[in-house]
A and B are shown apart, each in its own frame.
Chain A
Amino acid sequence: MEQNNSLTPFPQGLASPPGAMTPVMPIFSPTMRYNTGLTPQPVQNTNTTPQLYHSQVSTTTALPGNTPVHTTPLTPMTPITPATPASESSGILPQLQNIVSTVNLGCKLDLKTIALRARNAEYNPKRFAAVIMRIREPRTTALIFSSGKMVCTGAKSEVQSRLAARKYARVVQKLGFPAKFLDFKIQNMVGSCDVKFPIRLEGLVLTHQQFSSYEPELFPGLIYRMIKPRIVLLIFVSGKVVLTGAKVRAEIYEAFENIYPILKGFRKTT
């Protein structure tokens, strides 16, 4: 059936949309509103964006009390095209749903003691060799291993993940271990969004078969493995897209901006 453009106008008045199959250059402009209204607005000069696109900041700050100052300079990650906003921006912002990070507490831990003396811990050595600890805010879960390494999951942003990891480290400290906060690193970020139109997955798998895997008998969504950036996208017929495998927020945004014009090509309304 013919595509009926009058039905769903884009929020930003676009010029003619690009051709269905032409991949758009990674449009990544600092003037786009990449925020939840809370983080500071991005400015043109990348060096002064403190929070928004910070890459792996490894710190070895001591824990108790003092708020550490960011002495390590932020390493710039993906080059940002300055000034002109791309005319084909989608106007949709993927929301981060989950951040997985790791940190090294720097000392051996006795998991039995932790499980006994902490309220929010569970430890079942026969099932899994780590203590599972949870805190209320930010609502996260941590896996604490006897080697002193810890995995923190469930946060909705990088800074929340860092704060949560620090809180877990503080709990371990209060339980009597000389915990530090070494090599904090974000390992994985998951985002999701809705393009608000149904997608013909059968068509997409035919034209992009070197990247896509669509097996309706196994999973209802199409698994798209993007090469640049290296992100895996789960694309569903309802128009919902899940993006995962990112180490920095920018990769998720870039991946979505890459896939959006491709998806628009498979948008068909009857």
Chain B
Amino acid sequence: MKRNRFEMEILKHRLLVDPNYANNTWKILEHAIMDILTNHKLGTLSFENLYRHAYEMVLHNFGEKLYSGIVTTMTSHLSGISKLIEDAQEEFFLEELNQRWADHNKALQMILNILMYMEIAFIPRTHKTPILELGFNLWRDIVMPRTRLRDTLLELVYRERNGEVINRELMRNIIKMLKDLGSSVYDEDFEQPFLEVSADFYSLNSSLSLIENMALLDMIVNDKYEDLGMQYNLFRRVPAGLSIVRDVLNLYIWDTGKQLVADLERLKDPVNFVQCLLDLKDKFDKNISLEFNNDNTFQNALNSSFEYFINLKPSSPEFISLFVDDKLRKGLKGLSEDGVEVLLDRVMMLFRYLQKKDMFEMYYSLHLANRLSSGKTISIGDERSLIDKLKTECRCQFTSKLEGMLIDMKTSQDTSVGGED
């Protein structure tokens, strides 16, 4: 409201003498916009100058002329681009499309910045399409060679399935472009046809080819989260697809876990071992939540794998207790209150996997007793916190024993210090 009142004041103060004002100003902007679209003369264009011209046009009620001018200019430019892409040779088609799309995005952003005043002061009240959306729509309607693109993408998928190496990054960029253009574009131009082709493929092949397995593995091992996410979304809709991905993930988890547990070096360093366990769990949790949509079946698979190989190792209960011991002795320094909570919760998570919980109990009591008697525990609060968590988890006798130890400790402290609470 306040803005409009001042705009009117501003208009009153401006003298509009030149009848050609609008045309001349538009001409200036038109040239600049074309320079931006064609990537010319960068570094010589003055932002302030252009911004001011656009600002004044809108202020003087020439917003309509400005807006339609932009539509026209972009449309004619993109028609040229469309032709270029059409003429592109087979091997260069995707690259050309990709490059032009990147150029278009950059130009759009620059144009938006210059025309920001129109975007916020003119477009909303006239209900016109905002600039970025306009740019995307024009691209979609004028440039996008939809049939050829679809066919090219499917061809690539086919080639990869037959063991050829394709440019995955390029493909990823193109698919991202489809998504940016609107989910319906992505659906129609890629996902639907892809699924049709895949259904055929998978019904012919009951399991993934070796190449696909390796590709999946590569993604998992190297944390290629985006790739994984894409794969998951595609596989999800194909009947056997999901269990295949799950199997690959499972195998990988088992394998890694078993290796970790068998590693003789690690046997010497319990703290390190437990830390590795935690890191591994983290990685897979992240995988599952980011890529696999927190899919329950995946989560269950992860849990059973973890349970298996943690218990494969007879010294796990002791090691986990030693890990806690180490942390509590060092005082969990540098961790915020939340950080402490998180760490203790993660220890609890490992505890839950243990089958021989009584062994853990034995070691834990031992280690706690040591800490208390040698005065090596830094924070009674943290000790308390962990015991409470154990209590919630298992409601067994040993937690009351542990509590008893803490109380005894406190009592003896109070007695020696003289009752300081």
A binds B: no
Residues of A within 8 A of B (CB): none
Residues of B within 8 A of A (CB): none
